[in-house]
Structure 1
Amino acid sequence: FYATADQDRNLGFGGLDGRGRKKQDPPIIRDLLLSLEDCYHGAVKKIKISRRVMNDDGITSSIREKILSITVKRGWLPGTKVTFEGEGDQGPNTIPSDLVFVVKDKPHTHLRRENTDLIYTAKINLGQALTGTTLHIEHLDGRKLDVPINEIVKPGYKKRIPGQGMPMMTNPDKFGDMIIEFDVEYPNGLNSDQKLYIKEALINNQP
């Protein structure tokens, strides 16, 4: 079986079991890399495989190509399995193995997911962390989310936006949340005037 041209082939030429019955080869497991957009909207993926097929004489075999179609449903999670029964290599004394594709997420430019939640890491500077800012986040469907941050961003602070995550696998009309994490960039240094200003604003005015 070939998933791509450079993968090692599995001839699948096993033998009979002790009672003379054909045995089925173990399943062939392959990754199915999907983008977050694929799992958000749904998609159809075409995958070309090459497999060893027995010729009509029942002795010799040849390599033949085949196109498999996978309908990606909205909300599919990593670890979701798609099984094509008997699509492995054929052998004279074996039942062809099943071909199993297991969903894995492709890396995204600015989002990742945890179950049905989307995680966004916002890089802000110390001034924005203390005085507030507005984030502009591009969603998987192309929408631009303007998210005001009015709270002081303390270490470990996260902001949750309900209903802006991934579709739920069991009910694609419902969605998880978007969770914003923060990476606060501190200045490399401060001059004397800046230090004095911070002392006046944050230290000397403490009750």
Structure 2
Amino acid sequence: MEYKDYYKILGVDRKATQDEIKKAFRNIAVKNHPDKNPDNKKAEEVFKLANEANSVLSNPEKRKKYDELGENWQQYEQSGNQSAGNPFGGAGSADGAQQYYGSNEGFGGQADFSDFFDRFFAGNARDAANTQSRRGGDYETEMEISLEEAYQGADRTIQVENEKFRIAVKPGSYDGQVLRIKNKGARGSNRENRGDLFVRVKVKPHAHFIRKGDDLYDTISIDVYTAVLGGEIVVNTLLSGQVKIKIGQGTQNGKTIRLKGKGMPVYEKPNDFGNLTLLFQVQIPDKLTDMQRDLFEQLKATV
């Protein structure tokens, strides 16, 4: 039976905090969950071992006993574990593995754990789990929306474990935002002990507008004649319609103007909006008629 170095499996130091252990496990789970790696046996094995390691190291009592045992597990094994007693407390802990990105059944369940875990940690845990409360694991998924949907709000139907949930985002939602849907994760020992569903919002890049916080930015091309002489142009906002703006005489390339309140709505503040900043890019003609060239020459001569 092979000793399992749970710290090495998660890639953390033996003095790692609980937050560091949780973060390390979630990173491994994201990359190697069977749902994202179908028919990939290597990823499946990595996920199972990480889940096993997390179930021990995320439990302070189990972790303490695991650290006390260390690599002396062979001494316990050779002594005949029946007489020596379970160094991890007989029945062990009934909380099972803390799950992420998967169900308590199938991948990541205690039934998938190694012989090392079963010998030293499981004991009568399965029987105890039948009579004690056990919280289900959490799920995490992604919801992709457009910038327009982030502006006005949107909803999606997400299916998890054959259940469909309608997830809504409010106006002003932003990229990387995480929504927590309580009690929609993996099932625990009863209905009240379900885990949570975490939905990460991903806002797709826009063809014209760049978002920074609640503000929007856009680049507007103007011809050299309008830049020199001034005039009026019509520009598009994201969802506030078109706006007519004045261009001053001698507008320089790279000049910016700000349209107040034409940016994104502020999240959970429906009456507040960011600004829209326009960057002017003067287009220099690359082809001139003879008449245009003569006129430019005459203008040059007067400077």
TM-score (norm 2): 0.51
Change (3 A) 1:108 1:96: same
* 151-160 or 96-105, larger mean C-alpha shift: 96-105
Point out where structure 2 has 5 or more consecutive residues left out of the alignment. Answer: 1-34, 57-61, 63-91, 101-137
2:119 maps to which residue? none
> C-alpha distance in 2, partners of 1:170/1:151?
41
Q: 1:36 aligns with which of 140, 147, 151?
A: 147
SS in 2 for 1:180: strand
Higher helix share: 2
1:48 maps to which residue? 158
Give matches, 1:112-191, under 5 Å: 112-141=210-239, 143-169=241-267, 171-191=269-289
Report deviation, 1:7. 4.6
> C-alpha distance in 2, partners of 1:146/1:131?
17
> C-alpha distance in 2, partners of 1:48/1:168?
26
1:73 maps to which residue? 170
> C-alpha distance in 2, partners of 1:132/1:22?
72
- Please give the per-residue CA displacement for 1:157-198, whole angstroms capped at 9, x wherever unaligned: 111111111111252311111111233322223355433322
AA partner of residue 253 (structure 2):
P
> C-alpha distance in 2, partners of 1:85/1:8?
27
Greater RCO (CA < 8 Å, at least 6 residues apart): 1
SS in 2 for 1:172: strand
* 172-181 or 152-161, larger mean C-alpha shift: 152-161
Point out where structure 1 has 5 or more consecutive residues left out of the alignment. Answer: 1-5, 52-64
> C-alpha distance in 2, partners of 1:172/1:113?
18
SS in 2 for 1:204: helix
TM-score (norm 1): 0.70
Q: Cα RMSD between the aligned structures?
A: 3.3
> C-alpha distance in 2, partners of 1:119/1:198?
33
Change (3 A) 1:135 1:106: farther
Contact 1:46–1:67, Cα closer than 8 Å, also in 2: no
Q: Does 1:204 align with 2:270?
A: no
Percentage identity across aligned positions? Answer: 25
AA partner of residue 25 (structure 1):
Q
Report deviation, 1:29. 4.2
Q: Does 1:24 align with 2:121?
A: no
Higher strand share: 1
SS in 2 for 1:101: strand
> C-alpha distance in 2, partners of 1:111/1:158?
14
Q: 1:106 aligns with which of 186, 189, 204?
A: 204
Structure label with greater radius of gyration: 2
> C-alpha distance in 1, partners of 2:249/2:211?
24
Change (3 A) 1:185 1:50: same
Report deviation, 1:149. 1.7
> C-alpha distance in 2, partners of 1:40/1:25?
34
AA partner of residue 156 (structure 1):
G
Count of equivalent residues: 184
